[in-house]
Amino acid sequence: MKHVITRKEDLNAADYLIDVVAPEVAKRFVPGNFCVLITVPNGERIPMSIQKVEDDKITLYIKRLGKTSRELDNWNVGDALHAVIGPLGTPPPIKKYGNVVFLSDLVCGHAENYAMCKELGKYEMNHITSVQSFPTAADVYPDGELCDTVCDKFILATEDGSRGVKGHYLDVMKEMLEAGEVDQVFAGGGIPPLETLSILTAKYNVPVYTTVRQIMVDATGMCGSCRVFIDGEQKLACIDGPMFDGHKVDWPSAISRLGMFKAKEAEALGCFNHKLNGGK
Ligand SMILES: Cc1cc2nc3c(=O)[nH]c(=O)nc-3n(C[C@H](O)[C@H](O)[C@H](O)COP(=O)(O)OP(=O)(O)OC[C@H]3O[C@@H](n4cnc5c(N)ncnc54)[C@H](O)[C@@H]3O)c2cc1C
Ligand code: FES
């Protein structure tokens, strides 16, 4: 199977999207699942959320971050990835919740926001609000790539107020919770705000599912790298998650584990840049 890239576009200066042929993933995908990309034989396995599925193709939103995401950014339409594995993970229940809000502030969260709002909206009794926050107007994704078309109410927020509502999604959420308008919250993106969100929603007794992104090595439950503690019990984000009840997550441990491979990541990026600049 050739995992050919059929579309590649910039979302903003830091994020880009690709459509890639992956029929096995596309056929079985449920929002809340993720996939793993391997760009070249023996290459790093990088977990990615899936924004949407169309026929045999999946759409991925990718941040230019370290070695692999930057290397892939140099690929073009027509190039083929070595492997796309999935769908992986255990999605939260997709059902009637009532007033649902999905919050996101980072590339992976924006992809999940789109997929989940679209799916939850299939239940007539759900009223779906999507909140997407970006640092500033220049970071906002182009029309057609925001969640406005898959929800009942869409709120765009920028932290400096240069477009939409001023503030982070946490500010928007606080107002909604105070107004007593929310039955269920979902959120993905940056990890530290998810801890704050979990504390906030607990105060109002509103349940929240959060995507606890952890460093994944195999993403098939074998290495233990992605372990998280839920209500004191060890779980694996790649098998049992990555979405968990935010009120039960041991956030300090989840946050500290994210820095585990910083030195190795910097080394890999250094080698990649060296090669890019003509080094051997
Ligand atoms: C379930 C899940 C869904 C994700 N969805 C997306 C997405 O939709 N878009 C996106 O851009 N990124 C997503 N990520 C993060 C993505 O996997 C990393 O950005 C990617 O692996 C970076 O690789 P790199 O070589 O470019 O950078 P590196 O230099 O290797 O890493 C940069 C940073 O990315 C994170 N990271 C690196 N490797 C992994 C790994 N194996 N598992 C998890 N995090 C890692 C770490 O925070 C690390 O500090 C997701 C991660 C998980 C666990
Ligand atoms: S990534 Fe290895 S157990 Fe989850």
Instruction: Extract the tokens encoding 257.
Output: 């584990």
User: Distance from the CA of 239 to the center of ligand 2, in angstroms?
Assistant: 8
Instruction: Check whether residue 137 and residue 221 sit in a common domain.
Output: yes
Instruction: Check whether residue 140 and residue 231 sit in a common domain.
Output: yes
Residue matched to tokens 């998810």: 194
End-of-domain residue from the set 66, 88, 110? 88
Question: How confident is the model over 23-57, as pLDDT tens digits?
Answer: 999 999 999 999 999 999 999 999 999 999 999 99
pLDDT at 46: 95
Instruction: Check whether residue 111 and residue 240 sit in a common domain.
Output: yes
Cβ 259 under 6 angstroms from ligand 2: no
Instruction: Check whether residue 215 and residue 238 sit in a common domain.
Output: yes
Return the CA Rg of the chain: 18
Which ligand has an atom closest to residue 239 CA?
2
User: Distance from the CA of 226 to the center of ligand 1, in angstroms?
Assistant: 12
Most ligand 2 atoms within 8 A of CB, residue of 44, 90, 226, 228 to mutate: 226
Domain range for 63 is 3-88
- Kindly state whether residue 117 falls inside one of the protein's structural domains: yes
Instruction: Extract the tokens encoding 22.
Output: 């992956």
Cβ 234 under 6 angstroms from ligand 2: no
User: Distance from the CA of 104 to the center of ligand 2, in angstroms?
Assistant: 24
What domain count does the chain have? Answer: 2
- Kindly state whether residue 223 falls inside one of the protein's structural domains: yes
User: Distance from the CA of 46 to the center of ligand 1, in angstroms?
Assistant: 6
Instruction: Check whether residue 82 and residue 28 sit in a common domain.
Output: yes
pLDDT at 66: 87
Nearest-CA residue for ligand 1 atom 29 is 66
Cβ 14 under 6 angstroms from ligand 2: no
Question: How confident is the model over 55-82, as pLDDT tens digits?
Answer: 999 999 999 998 899 999 999 999 999 9
Cβ 238 under 6 angstroms from ligand 2: yes
Instruction: Check whether residue 83 and residue 107 sit in a common domain.
Output: no
User: Distance from the CA of 93 to the center of ligand 1, in angstroms?
Assistant: 25
pLDDT at 147: 97
pLDDT at 270: 59
- What is the pLDDT tens value at each position of the chain, 280 positions in all? 789 999 999 999 999 999 999 999 999 999 999 999 999 999 999 999 999 999 999 999 999 998 899 999 999 999 999 999 999 999 999 999 999 999 999 999 999 999 999 999 999 899 999 999 999 999 999 999 999 999 999 999 999 999 999 999 999 999 999 999 899 999 999 999 999 999 999 999 999 999 999 999 999 999 999 999 999 999 999 999 999 999 999 999 999 888 766 656 556 555 655 666 666 5
Most ligand 2 atoms within 8 A of CB, residue of 212, 216, 260 to mutate: 216
Specify the CATH number for the domain of residue 79: 2.40.30.10
- Kindly state whether residue 180 falls inside one of the protein's structural domains: yes
pTM score, whole prediction: 0.92
pLDDT at 1: 72
Instruction: Extract the tokens encoding 10.
Output: 């910039």
- Kindly state whether residue 196 falls inside one of the protein's structural domains: yes
pLDDT at 124: 86
Give the DSSP per-residue string, the chain. --EEEEEEEESSSSEEEEEEE-HHHHHH--BTBEEEEE-STTPPEEEEE--EEETTEEEEEEE--SHHHHHHHT--TT-EESEEEEEES-PPP-S--SEEEEEE-SHHHHHHHHHHHHHHTTSTT-EEEEEEEESSGGGSPPTTSSGGGGSSEEEEEETTSSSSEES-HHHHHHHHHHTT--SEEEEES-HHHHHHHHHHHHHTT--EEEE-----SSSSSSS-TTEEEETTEEEEHHHH-SEEEGGGB-HHHHHHHTTTTHHHHHHHHHHHHHHHTT--
